[in-house]
Structure 1
Amino acid sequence: MPADTDEEPAPLAGTQAAPAAQRAAGRRLLRAAAGRTRALMALLAVCTAVRVAATLATPVMLARAIDAVRTGERLGAAVAGLALVLAVAAAADAGEELAGSYCGSRITAWLRHRLTGRVLELGVPGQRRFPAGDVLSRLTESAGGPAAFPVLLVSAAAALVTTAGAVTALALIDWALAVAFVLGVVPVVVVLRVFVAQATEPFADYQRCQAEIATRLLDARQGARTIRAGGTAGREAVRILQPLPRLREAGQRTWAVQGRVSRRLALLAPLLQILVVGVAGARLAAGGITTGQLVAAASYTSLAIGSAALFDTFVALVNCQVGAGRVAEVLAAEPAVRPCPDPVPLPDGPGALRLRQVTVRIGGRAVLDHLDLTVPPGTCVAVVGASGTGKSVLVATIGRLLDPDEGGVELDGVPVDRVELAQLRRAVAYAFERPALLGATVHDMIAYARPDATRAQVREAARTAAADGFVRALPAGYDTPLDRAPMSGGELQRLGLARAALADARVLVLDDATSSLDTATEMKVTQALRALLTSRTSLVVARRPATAARADLVAWLDAGRIRALAPHAELWPDPRYRAVFSADAETAA
């Protein structure tokens, strides 16, 4: 069963890759995405090629029609040919739109599926590196942007081919026209190269600032009651919008680069057209070309200059590359837990646990420091320690929610990092302080770890966690949608306990899973769980003395090690042990 929360998630490395590396990663991911839609890309390329051919043929057919009108020869055939070319261009354009839409939607779906899977693989430690708002930004804007990549790429290629074809046609009309155009297009190429070099980083900064604002907003939404109770809404709004100046600066830098390039292109394009048309006029006056060829030369020059519109395509492609780079950054992150390449089967066993020299470092601090702990099979062990001593970190290593930096964990004599993850998840079940609302209905939430469970099995698990009564009182009972099921924190915890009970694992870990229950309800739930706990090994993160007293043994965690492993009654006379619960009570208050 997946982890819902963790007391001290392990931080990962910085979130921002170097611009050059991010651009390279974005290009690789875009190539991979295009490779998954080869058939659609081929169809898109064919439609584009037909459209380009028809577009290039249009000035020729127009010139023939004009000359036919002037001479009166074969006018009908010339007009029919022009109409046919225009019809083919329109049909090819419609095909481009359809193929591009399908291709883009498939790329978006592939990127979002990969991104979602990797975020889940990163586990709890990944929450520090990629907060919820940042993930949401990458999942929506960053993963959605590359949908336009196939169309943009083919459009750019089509524009370049059209330009090359137009220049070739100019050369066939008169070589002087082609030379004039080529000389004038060199500055345009230089301007576009400068734009690509200067615009990438501002675009990336802009998306990062947007993600930071989204993260702060989601954090504030989760703490809305605290903000309202503290009367700090104004201060919180300032905190949420704090990245706005950097967002504005990134936007201004982006617009400044685009503005400079747009102004230069706006000046160069008409000058280039004037140059070519002027040369064509001189050649017409000299008798080197006909009137129809002059019109064709003007049309081909317009087509060739249309490549200046590639600037907008370059802007969009840079955005696609930046978005793909942000997705690739998450995909390149190392998961907190990696599957064993050569797993061994976990034998049937009673659930004996052993932690050998386990060390977990977080932020340069050893939260667990060469910790040793042996849990006999069928024993209920309460894990006790002051806040921040790593109780949740300790129990997380058992089911490989995170792996220790040193040392190892064994379950029934087998290192857990040698066991297939799916088998380990069936062997170790967790219930957390804040159970995640996973699934569509209450039934789905309880049966999340066992989707094939029957209604009778789900109800039995709910009765074990003392949850059956309030669930049946809901509007649609077990079929009540979760978003329409008003439940208190204690009721949610009981559903989490029911979910763990249904898993029927040999090791049950309750990570502060009864903290929201009042004393009477906790006693009732504990009594209901007693039959379940006595048949398997269990570890209970305990904050209350009564919870620790009901366990067989207490593992007293202090300074990263087990200070004592003994029954609660033996430890209670020690004032330092009693102070652990006092400190937790003060922290909770």
Structure 2
Amino acid sequence: MSTADALIARAARHSGRWLVLLAFTALAGAAAELLLPMALGRALDALTGTPVSGAAPNASVPAAVVFVAWLVALVVACDVLGVLASGVSGAEAAQWLRRRVTARVLAAGTTTTRRFTTGDLVTRAGVNVEEAARGPEAVVTAASLVIPSAGSVVALVLIDPLLGATLTAGLLVVLGVVRAFMHKTTVAASGYQEAQAEIAARLVGALAGARTIIAAGTQDQEVHRVLAPLPRLREHGLSLWRLHARAGVQAAVVIPLLETAVLAVGGLRLAGGHLSMGELLASARYAVLGAGLGSAVGYAGRLARARSAARRIDRLLAEPALPYGSRRPAEGRGRLELRRVSVRVNGSPLLSDVDLVVPGGCCVAVVGRSGSGKSSLAAVAGRLLDPDVGSVLLDGVPLPQIGREHLRRAIGYAFERPVLLGATLGDAIGFGLPPERRDGTSPGNGLPSSGGIGPGWRSAAGRVRAASQAACADAFIRLMPGGYGTPLSGAPMSGGQVQRVGLARAFAQAERVLILDDAMSSLDTVTERQVSRALTGSLAGRTRLIVTHRVATAARADQVVWLDGGRVRAHGTHESLWNDPDYRAVFQGAS
């Protein structure tokens, strides 16, 4: 069994009791359909005066008719319940798959986003999950079609072996059609889904740059660029329709011929006195029931698309999640050590043999030209990304050995373009904080009246307010209609205000190390100076690693690390490095 088929099997196990109900109704309906032709034949024989099971004709007529009515009612009930169970079981399977895909994408972190575009990830977690979730239902329904067909062969053999042989020969032809159709459909569906993902990836990129596109007046060019894979999508789509049409035509030709052949043989056997009228009627019904295997073409197509989608999902699930240990960080002030750290992406080096020690409580600025590896250094320092070579330690403990909760409480991040998560502004700043701190204080027990976000501020609400004050965000948040309770969707903010909220989130979370990845680039000079005072004041007890392009920020840091081509070119105080003209050139054009 392939990994994609195994994934569909696991989705089936997580479909809940509804898939079991679907299987039960499919089996019960198939059994009722198998009994119905024989029951109709016996009822016809009873009505025409042919003895049924040795009983008098008149006595067996009511029982035969009632039995037929019960079977018809059972078939209808099974169809109704089957439709309901099919929909709910598919929804349950999709929910399980979507949870698993989302969890793996977030657990793998930046590794996944480097390998897959955002649009591709959305397509796999959306359309592909829905298609794969239909796989279990397609398997159960297709399998249920085999039962009437196989049962029809057995029933015809019992009625007349020649009829059974005729039906068997026709069903073998139908199975050949279904098998060829499924193989070709899987290939075409894979190409269709890949083209879908490419269009989605281009569209997401265009939406992210919508302002630039409008400003440049390039809407028409972008439409052509986004829809460039459309001819390929159309071709794969037409290929799928052609395959369906060809298989449908083949089934439409084979099935009537099969039914005609069974009826012709049955007529000859009736003329020879080997069959009764009731048996001929039953044979005709069994021929139709057996030929129902031709409808498996539709379910085979659904299963083929499900398998193709499951392959795409499986490739995503194969991405390794970032593993965590169980240790707590050792006692310390946030000493960071990078030992011969190297990072490569698609074979290109981003960092090479970086050795760096950031003393606990020290403020270190990381500078360098674009592409020098600053963001990669910030990523490995807080374990958003594991280095390909080397190790990173926090207070003497390798980061992979520290438990996730302990590591994420110890290190806080702020980014150049923060994404705000949560329902309100207060939620966005406190995102990731536990609802209660160590002294049991819960949010809502009161807010601090003055600055400082050290260990004394235990409540989450207190940390949120104090962090906002340090990030110079408290003043404009108070002016919002609902203050900290203002919904994010109703809080219009400038780029600098969004960046301040992102800084506040990092300040509230970090207990030992604060990493700012160009997180003050959108702040005006006055605000940047105020935030810098907080970094050297109320936040001075934490280790601060600040990626910056601003000379003033580098000048305020205790130490500066100068990166060039993914390597540490020099480190020291800003004053000592300023004598190097190449160092001064790093800040040309920066404020």
Shared fold (TM-score, shorter chain, > 0.5): yes
> What letter corresponds to residue 218 of structure 2 in structure 1?
T
1:33 match? 11
* Secondary structure class of the residue paired with 1:351: coil
One-letter identity of the residue aligned with 2:131: G
Provide the aligned C-alpha RMSD in A: 1.7
CA positional deviation for 1:59: 1.2
TM-score by length of 1: 0.92
Aligned position for 1:375:
358
Which string of whole-angstrom CA distances, capped at 9 and with x for unpartnered residues, describes residues 414-458 of structure 1? 222222232111111111111111111111111112041543331
**Which residue of 137, 141, 144 maps to 1:151?**
137
Aligned twin of 1:10: none
CA distances 1:327-382 after superposition (whole Å, capped 9, x unpaired): 111001234x3334xx4332121111221111112332322111111112111000
Distance 1:402 1:169 in 2: 65
Matched, 1:492 2:498: yes
Aligned equivalent of 2:157: 171
How far off is 1:475 after superposition? 1.9
The equivalent position to 2:522 in structure 1, one of 513, 516, 523, is 516
Give % identity. 44
Q: Runs of 5+ in structure 1 lacking a partner?
A: 1-22
Q: Hey, what does 1:354 align to over in structure 2?
A: 337
Aligned to 1:135: 121
1:70 and 2:48 matched: yes
1:125 deviates by 2.9
TM-fit CA distance, 1:252: 2.4
Distance 2:16 2:357 in 1: 56
1:361-510 equivalent positions in 2, closer than 5 A: 361-452=344-435, 453-510=459-516
Paired residue secondary structure (2:576): helix
For residues 352 and 135 of structure 2, the distance between their equivalents in structure 1, rounded to whole angstroms, comes to 50
Give the corresponding residue for 1:24.
Answer: 2
Structure 1 residues 147 and 415: alpha-carbon distance in aligned structure 2, compared to 1, 3 A threshold: closer
Equivalent pair of 1:466/1:528 in contact (CA under 8 Å)? no
Distance in 2 (CA, whole Å) between partners of 1:574 and 1:450 is: 43
Q: Distance in 2 between matches of 1:179 and 1:407?
A: 71
Q: Equivalent of 2:290, from 276, 301, 304?
A: 304
For 2:287 and 2:357, how far apart are their aligned partners in 1?
A: 82
Distance in 2 between residues matched to 1:44 and 1:449, nearest whole Å: 41
Distance (Å, rounded) in 1 between the aligned partners of 2:16 and 2:463: 47
1:266-321 deviation line (CA, Å, top 9, x unaligned): 21111111110000011111111111111111111001111101111101111111
Q: Which residue of 2 aligns with 1:237?
A: 223
Shift of 1:46: 1.9
1:359–1:404 Cα contact (<8 Å) kept: yes
Cα shift readout 1:123-182 (whole Å, capped 9, x = no counterpart): 123213211111111111111123322322221111100001111111122111111111
Conserved? CA contact 1:462–1:468, under 8 Å: yes
Cα displacement (A) at 1:570: 2.0
1:266-345 to 2 correspondence within 5 Å? 266-335=252-321, 337-340=322-325, 343-345=326-328
5 Å-filtered alignment, 1:543-582, equals 543-582=549-588
Q: Contact 1:501–1:532 at 8 Å: present in 2 too?
A: no
Q: Where does residue 535 of structure 1 map in the other structure?
A: 541
More divergent stretch after superposition (34-43 vs 117-126): 34-43
Q: Partners of 1:510 and 1:375 in 2: how far apart? A: 14
The reply on whether 1:257 has 2:243 as its aligned counterpart is yes
Distance 1:189 1:273 in 2: 16
Shift of 1:214: 0.8
Rounded to whole Å, the distance in 2 between the matches of 1:371 and 1:454 is: 37
**In the aligned structure 2, how far is the partner of 1:484 from the partner of 1:451?**
25
Which residue of structure 2 lines up, in the alignment, with residue 218 of structure 1?
A: 204
Whether the 8 Å CA contact 2:16–2:89 is kept in 1: the answer is no
Per the TM alignment, residue 256 of structure 1 is displaced from its structure 2 partner at its CA by 2.7
Measured in 1, the distance between the counterparts of 2:232 and 2:73 equals: 50
> In structure 2, how many angstroms separate the alpha carbons of the residues matched to 1:533 and 1:554?
18
Taking the aligned partners of 2:410 and 2:470, their CA distance within structure 1 comes to 19
1:55 aligns with 2:33: yes
SS at match of 1:92: helix
Which shifted more, 123-132 or 533-542?
123-132
User: Could you say if the C-alpha distance between residues 269 and 315 of structure 1 is closer, same or farther in structure 2, counting changes exceeding 3 Å?
Assistant: same
Contact persistence 1:386–1:584 (CA under 8 A): no
Runs of 5+ consecutive residues of structure 2 not aligned to the other structure: 50-56, 436-458
Contact 2:269 2:275 in 1 (8 A): yes
Amino acid at match of 1:148: R
**Once the two structures are superposed, what CA deviation does each residue of 1:387-414 show, in whole Å capped at 9, x if it has no partner?**
1000010111111111112121121112
Tell me the distance in 1 between the aligned counterparts of 2:323 and 2:538.
Answer: 31
Shift of 1:580: 0.5
Contact 2:371 2:565 in 1 (8 A): no
- Measure, in 1, the Cα distance between the counterparts of 2:360 and 2:136: 58
- Letter of the 1:526 partner, please give it: S
Question: Whose relative contact order is higher, 1 or 2, with alpha carbons under 8 Å and at least 6 apart?
Answer: 1
State the secondary structure of the residue aligned to 1:533.
coil
> Displacement of 1:249 after TM fit?
1.8
Query: SS of 1:582's equivalent?
Result: coil
State the SS of the aligned residue for 2:515: strand
Q: Is the 8 A contact 1:212 1:243 kept in 2?
A: yes
- Amino acid of the structure 1 residue aligned with 2:24: V
Residues 330/440 of structure 1: CA separation in 2 closer, same or farther (3 Å cut): same
Flag the 1:188–1:31 CA change in 2: closer, same or farther, 3 A. same
Shift of residue 55, structure 1, vs aligned partner: 1.1
> Tell me, what secondary structure is at the counterpart of 1:538?
strand
TM-aligned CA deviation for residue 100 of structure 1: 2.7
CA distance in 2, matches of 1:55, 1:129: 51
Do the aligned partners of residues 533 and 418 (structure 1) sit closer, same or farther apart at CA in structure 2, a change above 3 Å counting?
same
Give the match for residue 456 of structure 2. Answer: none
TM-score scaled by structure 2? 0.92
Q: Report the AA paired with residue 28 of structure 2.
A: V
Alpha-carbon distance, 1:524 to partner: 1.9
Query: Aligned letter for 1:412?
Result: D
Compute the displacement of 1:583 (Å): 6.1
**Amino acid across the alignment from 2:90:** G
Cα distance in structure 1, aligned partners of 2:17 and 2:229: 43
Hey, what's the Cα distance between the residues in 2 that align with 1:57 and 1:79? Answer: 13
AA matched with 2:185: A
Matched residue pairs, number? 560
How many angstroms apart in 2 are the aligned matches of 1:125 and 1:547? 30
Single out whichever of 309-318 and 452-461 deviates more from structure 2. Answer: 452-461
What amino acid sits opposite 1:324 in the alignment? A
Cα distance change of structure 1 residues 99 and 262 upon mapping to structure 2, 3 Å threshold: closer
Amino acid at match of 1:546: A
